Structure 1
Amino acid sequence: MRIGINTLFLVPGDVGGTEIYLRRNLLAMVADNPQDVFVLFTTLDNQGLFRDELKAFVNVEYVVLPFRAAIRPVRIICEQLLLPWYVWKSKVDVLWSPGYTAPALCSCPQAVTVHDLQYKSHPDDLSFLERITLDALVRTSCHQCEAVIAVSEFSKKEILRYGCAAEKKVHAVLEGVEPDFARPVTEDEAVQLPVAGNPYILCVAHTYPHKQVHLLIDAFSRLAEKIPHHLLLVGRPRRGEAQVEESLAACPARDRVHRLASLEYTELRSLYQQADVFVLPSEYEGFGLPILEALLAGVPVVTTDKASLPEVGGDCAVYVQQSCPEGFAQAIVDVLGKTSNERAEMIDRGMIWAQEFTWKKSAARTLHILRDTAGTLCTFQG
């Protein structure tokens, strides 16, 4: 088969979990299926990333569209008007769009991955124009594509709840986690941390309003006098940054709160493994990959019981039922107060659970759906 991959949404380092989702799935697909040809439709922003990451494989072709995806309106126009021509010219059997949206018109069968419908539940994450544009594109994509892939059962329910697609065409395919998170960091790989050797609480999240990073800072403010820990926040400023800044300004231990931008994979692995507890205070996640990364790295996890997070964390995380500073503070105290045996048992259980989520499984299931999708048109034409 010739499998087309629409990577136009991917601006390296800017789209968070959807970038990891595409890169890890694609790597597993290409490596495990040398008989298939993967045709990547890339942009000026991301072509170098894919050429470097997949340079060892001869079953990959590249078609570069001459624009930069960082300019979103240009990306939308090119995806709808320019991409279909390149797809037709490349004679692919199926086109997979892993980033929410797909061309409305296409010469081959299509599948699209819709990671979540966060813009419906948490509209404050986007401007009004961004919301209505995204909703129109997602709904059109779900309608036009023969298959819709959701990254969790929760996301599948959201797609059905908002009437974006018929149930028969929506497939839940769980994400994986990189197994290297379990590999102990060597001395050479260890990151020099701003916490200066002190124990710390870790959070990995951009400051979108629904991530509720400000509530974690408020919780830390209540704990600061009782624990020796620092708070390490990894993520870029987003539309919830004003609330974060307010919480930081009111924090009595502001000098013990440290912020880092997005890091390289090996650096992030080091941060996880050296943390005493990982906290994801988010109210809405289509999947919640950081939960698995932390569990596999051997870190106790505190998160909410919202959206897909219980599905991802299973019975291996501590869940806060009410999203408030007091709730997070109590959960953190409970985890830090566990005996060494209790902590070791919690970590072992979490690592075993996380090992069940692999990109190999995710890629195999996704490719099976793509083969079925390609077959729908072949059968019709035959």
Structure 2
Amino acid sequence: MRLFFDARYIRTDFHDGISRYSAELAAAVHAAAPARAVEPTFLIHDPAQRALLPDGAQTLLMHGPTSWREPFAARHLNRFAPDVVFSPMQTLGSAGRRFRLILTLHDTIYYRHRTPPRDLPAPVRVGWRLFHLSYVPQRLTLDAADVVATVSETSRRQFAAVRLTKRPVVVIPNAPQRLAELLPGGQGDVRTDGPVRNIVYMGSFMPYKNVETLVRAMRLLPGRTLHLLSRISPARRAELEALAGEGSVVFHGGVTDAAYAAALADHAVLASTSLDEGYGLPLAEALALGVPAVVTDMEIFHEVAGDGAIYVDPRDERAVADAVSALDDVETRDAVIAAGTAHIARFTWQRSAGILLDTAAGLAARGPRRRGRRR
């Protein structure tokens, strides 16, 4: 089976969520392919992306995903006769395709919060907002595939609730990166003995992330420090500093993955009082590292963390402070860490690659797609 994997979303500067998902899944697919009699080809738009793919990976250079050529991508790919094409996004042009197609929609959060990623060109950001004003464009896009992939059972249920697609939906789960490998002593460098000293937040500062509750909670947690790791605008930083009062809050302005791992490993708890989430990858990463979490009581966080977190009302700073303090108790902390480690172990890139390859094999067995037919 010839599987084309759309790796054009892998960033060459630093990973965002889609980039890391693409790179990790691509590596796992490449490793599993020989035993499955699969010949993978990775679509790229920048030669520098080859360095972020496994050694020996076969690549095909084509236009970028925001190019005007994207609506005609299928006609270009037809020339190379793939059996199945998988994209970690849903925007790959499908008109005139003669191959089986798996498109991915990670979540529906942009229907609830329509601010597009800031690194997109201005015309694309405008189109993004217009696209998400109604479910109709998304339905047309997804129904042009043979199968729709998503990253969580929560997303699959949300798709069904709004009848987002007529196509079968398969969950190809996200999985955490291996932060322990970035610590000098590996997993042995994770310090969870004694009271919680540091509260770590990794994520954006968009309004729905509700970082304000975490900042206000620090007034109730003397002797501890809230570390806001991500890049932040001067205006947003000033807003949060005004709320901090006597609480201890450190703005890091962006960190490396190694610094992120070190922060979590230092008597820390991962915290999020977000009002909405598409997935919650930092939560998964903390659990995989053996670090407890205090997070919003919402469906997706329960799916990601199971019993490996303490769940709170995201608007109640007292509840957040009490949850952090509860983790000072040795038995409570050890139980939460053990539950989280066991739960997150179910999510691996090897398992996700297997699901993708099983899905692709099922589609390939149906034969090439005939023009004008969707069967």
TM-score by length of 2: 0.83
Asked whether the equivalents of residues 103 and 142 of structure 2 are also in contact (C-alpha less than 8 Å), the reply is: yes
User: Which residue of 52, 75, 79 maps to 2:70?
Assistant: 79
User: Which residue of 36, 45, 49 maps to 2:38?
Assistant: 36
- The alpha-carbon deviation at position 375 of structure 1 amounts to 2.8
Q: Secondary structure at the match of 1:52?
A: helix
The corresponding residue for 1:52 is 51
- The alpha-carbon deviation at position 190 of structure 1 amounts to 12
The whole-number CA distance in structure 1 between the counterparts of 2:100 and 2:272 is 38
User: Which residue of 240, 260, 270 maps to 2:262?
Assistant: 270
- The alpha-carbon deviation at position 306 of structure 1 amounts to 1.8
- The alpha-carbon deviation at position 183 of structure 1 amounts to 5.5
Superposed CA deviations along residues 147-190 of structure 1, whole A, max 9, x for unmatched, are: 00121111011112222202x61122322223x33568226999
The corresponding residue for 2:229 is 234
- The alpha-carbon deviation at position 92 of structure 1 amounts to 1.0
2:362 equivalent to 1:372: yes
Asked whether the equivalents of residues 7 and 26 of structure 2 are also in contact (C-alpha less than 8 Å), the reply is: no
The whole-number CA distance in structure 1 between the counterparts of 2:303 and 2:187 is 32
The whole-number CA distance in structure 2 between the counterparts of 1:339 and 1:353 is 21
The whole-number CA distance in structure 2 between the counterparts of 1:100 and 1:218 is 39
Percent identity at matched positions? 22
Change (3 A) 1:246 1:306: same
The corresponding residue for 1:341 is 331
Asked whether the equivalents of residues 13 and 262 of structure 1 are also in contact (C-alpha less than 8 Å), the reply is: no
The whole-number CA distance in structure 2 between the counterparts of 1:7 and 1:341 is 44
Structure having the larger proportion of residues in helix: 1
The whole-number CA distance in structure 2 between the counterparts of 1:347 and 1:151 is 24
The whole-number CA distance in structure 2 between the counterparts of 1:93 and 1:331 is 51
- The alpha-carbon deviation at position 349 of structure 1 amounts to 2.3
2:200 equivalent to 1:217: no
The whole-number CA distance in structure 1 between the counterparts of 2:82 and 2:294 is 44
Superposed CA deviations along residues 115-148 of structure 1, whole A, max 9, x for unmatched, are: 0011112235677642223566533321100000
The whole-number CA distance in structure 2 between the counterparts of 1:33 and 1:104 is 25
Q: How do 1:151-230 residues align onto structure 2 when only pairs under 5 Å count?
A: 151-166=151-166, 169-178=168-177, 180-182=178-180, 185-186=183-184, 199-220=197-218, 222-223=219-220, 226-230=221-225
Q: Secondary structure at the match of 1:111?
A: strand
Q: Secondary structure at the match of 1:283?
A: coil
Asked whether the equivalents of residues 284 and 307 of structure 1 are also in contact (C-alpha less than 8 Å), the reply is: no
2:81 equivalent to 1:96: no
Asked whether the equivalents of residues 292 and 354 of structure 1 are also in contact (C-alpha less than 8 Å), the reply is: yes
**Aligned residue identity for 2:224:** H
The corresponding residue for 2:122 is none
2:60 equivalent to 1:63: yes
The whole-number CA distance in structure 2 between the counterparts of 1:311 and 1:242 is 34
Change (3 A) 1:330 1:97: same
2:119 equivalent to 1:117: no
Asked whether the equivalents of residues 201 and 276 of structure 1 are also in contact (C-alpha less than 8 Å), the reply is: yes
Asked whether the equivalents of residues 151 and 171 of structure 2 are also in contact (C-alpha less than 8 Å), the reply is: yes
**Aligned residue identity for 2:172:** V
Asked whether the equivalents of residues 275 and 314 of structure 2 are also in contact (C-alpha less than 8 Å), the reply is: no
Larger displacement relative to structure 2 (275-284 or 149-158): 275-284
2:324 equivalent to 1:325: no
Superposed CA deviations along residues 312-363 of structure 1, whole A, max 9, x for unmatched, are: 111121111343433323322333xx32233223222221222221111111
The corresponding residue for 1:194 is none
Larger displacement relative to structure 2 (204-213 or 117-126): 117-126
Change (3 A) 1:101 1:125: closer
The corresponding residue for 1:354 is 344
The whole-number CA distance in structure 2 between the counterparts of 1:31 and 1:276 is 34
Asked whether the equivalents of residues 29 and 353 of structure 2 are also in contact (C-alpha less than 8 Å), the reply is: yes
The corresponding residue for 1:195 is none
- The alpha-carbon deviation at position 33 of structure 1 amounts to 1.3
What value does the CA root-mean-square deviation take over the aligned residues?
Answer: 3.1
Change (3 A) 1:138 1:42: farther
- The alpha-carbon deviation at position 275 of structure 1 amounts to 4.3
Asked whether the equivalents of residues 290 and 341 of structure 2 are also in contact (C-alpha less than 8 Å), the reply is: yes
Asked whether the equivalents of residues 304 and 323 of structure 1 are also in contact (C-alpha less than 8 Å), the reply is: no
Asked whether the equivalents of residues 32 and 353 of structure 2 are also in contact (C-alpha less than 8 Å), the reply is: no
The whole-number CA distance in structure 2 between the counterparts of 1:131 and 1:306 is 26
Which 5+ residue runs of structure 2 have no aligned equivalent?
Answer: 118-124, 190-195
Q: Secondary structure at the match of 2:366?
A: helix
Change (3 A) 1:76 1:157: farther
The whole-number CA distance in structure 2 between the counterparts of 1:284 and 1:276 is 23
Which 5+ residue runs of structure 1 have no aligned equivalent?
Answer: 70-74, 192-197
The whole-number CA distance in structure 2 between the counterparts of 1:249 and 1:129 is 35
Q: Secondary structure at the match of 1:308?
A: helix
**Aligned residue identity for 2:86:** W
Change (3 A) 1:271 1:89: farther
Q: Secondary structure at the match of 1:286?
A: coil
The whole-number CA distance in structure 2 between the counterparts of 1:334 and 1:128 is 46
The whole-number CA distance in structure 2 between the counterparts of 1:292 and 1:189 is 15
Asked whether the equivalents of residues 3 and 38 of structure 1 are also in contact (C-alpha less than 8 Å), the reply is: yes
